[in-house]
Structure formats: structure tokens, C-alpha cells
Amino acid sequence: MTRRCQSRLCLLILSTVAVAIALAVDMEAKDESITLKAMGSFYVGGQRTLIQHSGSGAAARPGHIWDGGMYVRYMIPSSNRPKAAVVMWSGGCHTGKSFETTPDGREGWDMIFVRAGHPVYVVDATYRGRSPVSQETLIAARSGDAAPDTLPNLLTCDEEQAAAVRGGFRLRNSNFPIEALDQYLAQLVPDWFFSVQNGPVPNSRALIALLEKIGPAVVLAHSQGGLSVYPTLIARPDLFTAYVAVEALGSCTAITEAGPRFPGGVPVLVMSGDPIEANTPPPFGIDGCKVVASRNPNLKLTIDYLPDAGIRGNSHMMMLDSNNKQIADRIMSWVDRNVNARKSR
């Protein structure tokens, strides 16, 4: 005969087993296979360049490298009715890893968008991550042929900046999986964007090369990525089916400064998350963006401040937050209304 479970320990064991079973069932339900037409990686942009300080441990010598190229990883879903292709561009100190598996092991935006039928291209901005870096200035200074102040100005991100107790990327007390902070900090890399060796120009050239290769696409930029994507959008609107600015730098300043040069025919979504702290204004100048949208009804400009929709708690890294799928679905719904619906007419 089985005795009735009455002790606290027994009840705790039973409740733990019940939770484990529920989690297993939930994971099994989400473990759905996906069929890809193609996946892989390639490089775009840049040029073969002669530098004077090449070689290895021996004395520096002239040599040729590929400078300014950009790494691209892609997944193309197998679908009879493919949706708009999406290029994902990360922010400062980040690589394409931002859009891959989240720090706590959930699917990232790349796979979420692919599951919904979008071909996805995830990039590492030039001079970052898997994209090549020129050793010229480093070895020239090391060998004494150049002054130390010619070394690149590197933007670096640390825990005190990214995960500050107050401010930073608003990771604490938000939807960000703070228990997996170490996994997130490990993906932060030195960033050459503000050095004379790099900046928006090579990034814009690489983005144009990518879009010329794959065809017009939706470009989704996060944070610092806006400083490269906005100039590209203004220069080559023919290569954009839409632009999604996720807490992107320069958003409404770029629109205002461009004036009539800003491409009114390209749908633009400007999205911002929760300021988290009470009595703090919306981040990334979203209030100013609302004013720009109201004064420029000719623009296909959508301002999406998530708390206005009752979506609270999103950090600057919303693609990694616990509700990252909810935000991805929101973006894809906007793309469906503004791009895919227009294509099917």
C-alpha cells in the first residue's frame, strides 16, 4: 500500500517533479525541427590593401591584406512563399552573436525570424568580431615606426558600463536574464568604430555590397548600428525594403538633418524599450521621434515605444530579454503589414 505524502519534504519532492515534467513538456513542444534551403557564411566589402608592417614574429615587411571586409552568416528557410529578407546589424562592442542564442539558452532573433519564413543575414560590423582588422597601425607603433598616439581608439564595454546598477544598458531589474550575465559579458569585444581606421564609411560600403549581392532587404539595426545604417539608407534607399531601428543611435536626428533627402518611400520602424527606473524619460529620444513623425506625415515612419503598448521591462538588449520572441513577433507583424503585404499586391 502506498502511504499518503504529507511531510514537507515529500510535498517538496512531488512539486519539484511536477515542475520538471511541466518544463520537459514545454521544451518538447518548442523543440520543432526547421528545414533550411541553405545556410553558410561569406565576406563582402573591403579591398586588397598593401600595408608596410606585415609578417609575424620576424621583422615587419610589406604585405597584402583584405581590409574593410565584413563577415556575413546566413540562413535561408525552405519556403514556397519566402518573406522579406532581414539583415541584422548589432550595436557597439557586439557582434552578430547578439542575435543568436540568448545568454540563458533560448532561441535568438535569427532563428525566430527564420522559423517565421524570413531569410536572415547576421553580420559582424567591419573591424569587429569575425570581420578582418588591419594590423598596420598596431605593428607600426610596436616597431617604433609610428607614434603611440596613432594607435586605434578602441571602444570597450565592461560590466560596470553594460550592467551598471543604474543606467547602462538597463539590464538589471528588467526582462534581461541577469542570472546569465557572465554568458553575456563574454560576447563583448573591443570596437574600432570610433577610430580613424574604421567608422561609418567602410561599414556603409560593406552594407551596400551585401544588399547588392542579396537584393533589397529589411535592415534591422541595434544601437550604434544606426550610425552606419542611416547614412546607407539615405544614400541607397533602393536597397532597402524597410528599416527597423531598435534603440538605434541617430534615429530621429538623422531624419531631421536629412530633411527632404530622407527617403519617404521606405517604411521605417523606430522601437524603444522601457526606461526601467521610475520618473525617467523614455530612452533614445523616443519622445522627439514622435514629434518628428507628427510633423512629417509624408514619411512612412512608425514609432513604437513598447510601454505605450503595455509591454514593460525591456532592456537595451531586448533581443536577449525573456520576452524576446514577443518583441520579434511585433517587428515581424510590422514587416508583414508594411513590406510583405505590399509585395503581394
Task: Compute the chain's Rg from CA coordinates.
Answer: 23
Length of the chain: 345
Contact 146, 140 (CB under 8 A): yes
The pLDDT score that the predictor gives to residue 58 is: 64
The pLDDT score that the predictor gives to residue 251 is: 85
Backbone angles phi, psi at 232, to 5 degrees: -70, -40
Quote the cell numbers at residue 40: 553558410
Quote the cell numbers at residue 306: 513598447
**Counting Cβ atoms within 10 Å, is residue 30 exposed (0-12), middle (13-18) or buried (19+)?**
exposed
Quote the cell numbers at residue 158: 565592461
Contact 207, 130 (CB under 8 A): no
Q: What is the pLDDT along the chain (345 residues), one digit of tens a residue?
A: 334 444 444 433 333 333 343 334 334 435 688 999 999 999 999 999 999 998 766 677 899 999 999 999 999 999 878 899 999 999 999 999 999 999 999 999 999 999 999 999 999 999 999 999 999 999 899 888 999 999 999 999 999 999 999 889 999 999 999 999 999 999 999 999 999 989 999 999 999 999 999 999 999 999 999 999 999 999 999 999 999 999 999 888 888 888 888 999 999 999 999 999 989 999 998 999 999 999 999 999 999 999 999 999 999 999 999 999 999 999 999 999 999 665 544
User: Considering Cα of 194, then 180, then 311, then 275, what sign does the dihedral take?
Assistant: negative
Quote the cell numbers at residue 18: 511536477
Sheet holding 240-246, edge to edge: 36-44, 70-77, 120-124, 86-89, 217-222, 240-246, 268-272, 301-305
